[in-house]
Structure 1
Amino acid sequence: MPYYYWWDPTYFLVIIGAVICLLASAHVNNTFKKYSKYRSMSGMTGAQAAQRILNAAGIYDVEIRHISGKLTDHYDPRNKTLSLSDSVYGSTSVAAVGVAAHECGHAIQHQKNYAPLTIRGAIVPVANIGSTLAWPLILIGLFISSRSGQALITAGIICFSLAVLFQIVTLPVEFNASRRAVRILGETGILGEQELGYTRKVLGAAALTYVAGAASAILQLLRLILLFGGRRDD
């Protein structure tokens, strides 16, 4: 494998992407920690707020369950389960209620057949395969000094592009879920006006992690294209 692959200047693109992700992660953790100290006036836990939101939306077939971890919350449309983490499920904080409402936003998207969510679900299998095959194809291609090697590298870049596409499609899904969360928290009276402002900050910080992930993936793809897109055999 050419030594320049590991030490070439384009590696700074990877470093930039990693720094962006680290900053976004630190920001969401600090923001969540800050507003976890604010107890919601309603006194509802994340799980109770989620149940009320789902019922208000006419959704009664989604199971709310407790999972371990911090900010590991997610909605799984395959089995209609809404999983809330340790820091959300039983917490009465504004931050916890906001995160729970965000996951309910995904359940509502699923109920209403929200197009970007449907598209993301369709991309998942292809993106998983792409992310798994991308690097093996590229690495094998580097050791083959022929057109076949270039073809494998190109196939690897295309596979990686599918994973990047998934990251990009995820953005509107997450932004929409947060907008739905804030709106329904206000409509149901679960949070007051000032509390909604706090929730917007928490969900805004969380959204930045998805933006950072997409930016990092795009930078990595750009690096692959710069390194190998125009590779020719000697």
Structure 2
Amino acid sequence: MKEMFIDYSYIVYVLPAVLFAMWTSAHVNSTFRRYSTQYSMRNVTGYDAARRVLDANGLYHVRIERVNGSLTDHYDPRSNVIRLSDSVYSQTSTAAIGVAAHEAGHAIQYAQHYIPIRLRNAIIPITNLGSKLAMPLILIGLLFAGTGSSMGMLAYVGVACFGFSTLFQLFTLPTEFDASRRAIRAIETCGILSSDEIYGSKKVLTAAALTYVAALAVSLMQLLRLLNIVNRRNNN
């Protein structure tokens, strides 16, 4: 019987990070569900919270729209619109208010030209191109690595291309943490939630931030795995 092929490099490098990512995804969903039942005593909705945060920072021109789904909330800088999901837009829970204020935090970042988000946006075209070229270049480089030609260097170029996606995740991390920090500060200063209720929003935003830590970990471990594979192939 032919021995089954097992990619040990994936198990060693990537699998732990993937398992961590799966846990963070489940954790953010369970945390959001938990604090979706803790309602604001002031009866503030997600829409109200985002509007108050925006107006407090002079961003009266930023619109807020409703979008289908759960936790599909995002800020679109191209159209200057915050889109809040069904589970956030009209809900008065501390979870919904935290998420809405977080998206308003992103709008504030763009308005104030927050450096990490500008750097992240600047490398988006390179990241998109690199993601398309990375695997073809690595495969071609590995295929010709044993021929003694310089074609084997293409694999390293492919790894470098993949590295741009890791760099993108790296710039995303401070952006998300800063948006959450702005959200909590705005919730406090605008009097949206009481001091006891803010705890729920903090828990939801902390759980959400972990998903971005996990995304960076997966990308970084995949980068190290590819580099290890290319090194072993070129040294043989």
**Could you state the TM-score of these two structures normalised by the residue count of structure 2?**
0.92
**Pair 1:61-2:61 in alignment:** yes
Deviations 1:80-116 (A, max 9, x none): 1111111111111110010000000010111111111
Q: Confirm whether residue 19 of structure 1 aligns to residue 19 of structure 2.
A: yes
d(CA) in 2 for partners of 1:7, 1:24: 26
Which amino acid in 2 is paired with 1:35?
A: Y
Shift, 1:170, TM fit: 0.6
Amino acid in structure 2 at the alignment position of 1:200 = K
**1:150, distance to aligned residue in structure 2 (A):** 1.5
Corresponding residue for residue 6 of structure 2: 7
* Aligned mates of 1:176, 1:79 — CA distance in 2: 22
The one of 191, 194, 208 aligned to 2:193: 191
The separation in 2 between residues aligned to 1:89 and 1:148, in whole angstroms, is: 56
1:85-124 to structure 2, matched below 5 A, reads: 85-124=85-124
Aligned to 1:7, the other structure's residue is in SS state coil
- Quote how far apart the aligned CAs of 1:230 are: 4.8
What displacement does 1:18 show? 1.1
Counterpart CA distance in 2 for 1:87 and 1:128 is: 31
Q: What is the identity, as a one-letter code, of the residue corresponding to 1:91?
A: Q
2:213 alignment partner AA: V
Secondary structure of 1:113's aligned partner? coil
Deviations 1:22-78 (A, max 9, x none): 000011000000000111112121112111111111001212111112111111222
Partner amino acid, structure 2, of 1:178: S
1:82 paired residue number: 82
Query: How far apart, in 2, do the equivalents of 1:221 and 1:151 lie?
Result: 16
Give the match for residue 223 of structure 2: 221
Q: Structure 1 residue 9: deviation in Å?
A: 2.0
Distance 1:9 1:49 in 2: 48
1:148 Cα shift? 4.6
Gaps of 5+ in 2: none
Aligned to 1:161: 163
* Cα separation, 1, equivalents of 2:69 and 2:150: 45
**CA shift at 1:162, angstroms?**
0.4
Sequence identity, in percent?
Answer: 49
Contact 2:142 2:230 (8 Å CA) reproduced: no
Q: Could you tell me how far 1:139 is from its partner in structure 2?
A: 2.1
Distance in 2, Cα, partners of 1:215 & 1:233: 27
Give the whole-Å Cα distance in 1 for the aligned partners of 2:188 and 2:9. Answer: 47
Partner in structure 2 of residue 150 of structure 1: 152
Aligned partner letter, 2:57: A
Counterpart for residue 44 of structure 1: 44
Change (3 A) 1:71 1:148: farther
**Unaligned runs of at least 5 residues, structure 1:** none
CA distance in 2: counterparts of 1:7 and 1:144, whole angstroms: 23
CA distance in 2, matches of 1:62, 1:229: 49
Q: After TM superposition, where is structure 1 displaced by more than 4 Å over at least 4 residues in a row? A: none
Q: CA deviation at 1:233?
A: 7.2
